[in-house]
Each structure stands twice: as structure tokens, then as C-alpha cells.
């Protein structure tokens, strides 16, 4: 959806709806799921501390929203977003918000994330401060700076690490004051599904990204690679479950998270059928729901 497609008769959204669109709510499950998993693992170990869990969730959401706003700004400035865009509406490119407004918005959102996280720094010390600063920094560098990660094929690594072991491990750490290998391994589950979100996004935009000079993994290695990447992003989190059972000698109900497989089949079929273009927006929305479902089912299974 963009100005060229909606035409002059399309109603202009109000201010509130505009900023909700800018935040990209369908992507926020990538922030919620790892916090759920980290909290469930802390609860399972008898170390649950709800104030820390609540602030961790707030901080994760603010960093995700800040990153989305920064992406909107930098993609517009670089020319990556234009009238041929196939993805969901970008408010700056659509002319709904000025570049300066969106810039102030992402700076303010990251500032809120930083100050809300000071409580977690008080609880967990300097490691939490380092992780928080790095999360904000890479949220900007994903599409900004002299060497944007997302434009050079490094976005997938960033997403895997920061939406996986860092988010799950950080959530666990601020409650438990320690970290364990099972927690970090468990973080790979939501991390890989978040990579799936990026993979299908890059597959959809492969033509426009190539024209704009964005060297995503889909552009570097082609559409077949992006499809296999998406398949792996669904399969690997399921393979992690028996590994965790082996590592802990228990938690068998965590296999409940395999329930994402029947839900993921339609999205997998659409991606593997070599369909391209705007129809992949359906897969993007479905993958967000799959990520949330994985987080919920994993958490239930872990604490049962």
C-alpha cells in the first residue's frame, strides 16, 4: 500500500492510526515471544520476578518500535522505499509523516527504552547496560550508518542473535541473576523464526532491493536460497525442542511447541511454491503469528 496505489480517493488515516501503522504492530511478536520464553524458563526454575519481566517486555517492545521507525526513516532517505514498494505502508514514503517527525519519533522511542531499562540495569548490573545499548545501537545500524546491516546481508545475523539468545537470555538474567546454556539454546527458537520474517520480507522485495543496491541474502544468493532460509527458520526451532529435553533431562511437555507445524504449512506451501510479490505479505503476517504461537506453546510446555 502506497500513495501511487491508493490514489486520490483513498482516505488519509488519522494521526493515531498513522503512528500505529508506523510502529508496524504485526512485527511486534518478534519482541514479545522471546520475553515470554525467558520468563517461562525463569518461572520453571523458581526465579520468576514479575517487575523485571514486565520492564523487559516494555523495553523489548520499545526497541522493536524504535527500530521500525528508524527503518522507515533510513529506507526513505536511501531511496529503498519508493512508489513500487510491495510491502505494508511506510508512513514516510507515503507522505503521512515528514522525515524529521519520524526521526524525532525513533530517537524518542529509543530514549524511552533506555530510561525504562535503567531499572533492569539496577537489577542486573553492567551486562544488562551493555546489552541494552547494543540493542539500541544495532536497531539504528540495521538500516542507518555508513554500513547498514540490512543492506549488506548481515541483517539475518543481527535478528537471530538479538531476537533470540540475547532477548531470551537477557529476560532470564534480569530475573535469575544468572544464565544457563539451555536458556541460550532455547533463544535460538524465536531467533530463527524472526529470521523467517526477514527472509520472506527479503524474498518479496528481491527485485526492488536489487535495484536499490540493497545486498540482502536474497539478493546475494537468489530466491531459492531465501525459500530454503524460510523453511529452515520453521524447522530448526522444532529440532531445538528435543535438544533442550536432552540438555535438561526433562521438560518433555515443551514438545507442545511442535504445534506450530500444522499452522505453518500454508505459509510454507506459499513460499516454496515460488509465488512472489505482494502475496508474500500474507506469509509475513502468518509468520508473526507462528512466532507468537511458538512462544506461547513453548512457555506453557516449559512450566507444566
pLDDT of 11? 67
pLDDT, tens digit (0-9, with 9 covering 90-100), for 44-60: 999 999 999 999 999 99
**Is the predicted pLDDT of residue 166 greater than 80, yes or no?**
yes
**Exposure string over 39-76, b if 16+ CB within 10 A, otherwise e:** bbbbbbbeebbeebbebbbbbbbbbbbbbbbbbbbbbb
pLDDT of 54? 97
For the chain, report the end-to-end CA distance as a whole number of angstroms.
43
Q: Read off φ and ψ for residue 275, nearest 5 degrees.
A: -70, 145
Classify the phi-psi angles of 50: left when phi > 0, otherwise alpha if psi is within -120 to 50, otherwise beta: alpha
Pairwise CA distance, residues 133 & 261, whole Å? 35
**Is the predicted pLDDT of residue 84 greater than 80, yes or no?**
no
pLDDT, tens digit (0-9, with 9 covering 90-100), for 1-17: 333 333 444 567 788 88
Rounded to two decimals, the pTM is 0.90
Amino acid at each position: 500500500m502506497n500513495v501511487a496505489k491508493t490514489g486520490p480517493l483513498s482516505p488519509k488515516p488519522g494521526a493515531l492510526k498513522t503512528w500505529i501503522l508506523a510502529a508496524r504492530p504485526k512485527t511486534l511478536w518478534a519482541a514479545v515471544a522471546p520475553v515470554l520464553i525467558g520468563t517461562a524458563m525463569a518461572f520453571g526454575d523458581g526465579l520468576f520476578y514479575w517487575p523485571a519481566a514486565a520492564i523487559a517486555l516494555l523495553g523489548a517492545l520499545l526497541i522493536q518500535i524504535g527500530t521500525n521507525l528508524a527503518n522507515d526513516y533510513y529506507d526513505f532517505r536511501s531511496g529503498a522505499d519508493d512508489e513500487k514498494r510491495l510491502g505494508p505502508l511506510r508512513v514516510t514514503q507515503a507522505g503521512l509523516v515528514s522525515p524529521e517527525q519520524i526521526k524525532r519519533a525513533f530517537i524518542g522511542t529509543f530514549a524511552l527504552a533506555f530510561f525504562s531499562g535503567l531499572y533492569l540495569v539496577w537489577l542486573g548490573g553492567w551486562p544488562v547496560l551493555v546489552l541494552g545499548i547494543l540493542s539500541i545501537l544495532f536497531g539504528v545500524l540495521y538500516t542507518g550508518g555508513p554500513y547498514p546491516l540490512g543492506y549488506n546481508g548481515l541483517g539475518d545475523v543481527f535478528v537471530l542473535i538479538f531476537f533470540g539468545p540475547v532477548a531470551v537470555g537477557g529476560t532470564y538474567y534480569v530475573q535469575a541473576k544468572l544464565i544457563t546454556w539451555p536458556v541460550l539454546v532455547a533463544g535460538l527458537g524465536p531467533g530463527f523464526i524472526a529470521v523467517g520474517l526477514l527472509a520472506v520480507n527479503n524474498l518479496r522485495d528481491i527485485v526492488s532491493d536489487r535495484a536499490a543496491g540493497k545486498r540482502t541474502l536474497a539478493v546475494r544468493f537468489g530466491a531459492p536460497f531465501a525459500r530454503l532460509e524460510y523453511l529452515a527458520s520453521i524447522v530448526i526451532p522444532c529440532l531445538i525442542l528435543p535438544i533442550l529435553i536432552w540438555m535438561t533431562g526433562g521438560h518433555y511437555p515443551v514438545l507442545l511447541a511442535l504445534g506450530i507445524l500444522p499452522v505453518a504449512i500454508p505459509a510454507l506451501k506459499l513460499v516454496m511454491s515460488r509465488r512472489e510479490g505482494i502475496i508474500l505479505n500474507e506469509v509475513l503476517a502468518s509468520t508473526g503469528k507462528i512466532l507468537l504461537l511458538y512462544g506461547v506453546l513453548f512457555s506453557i510446555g516449559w512450566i507444566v
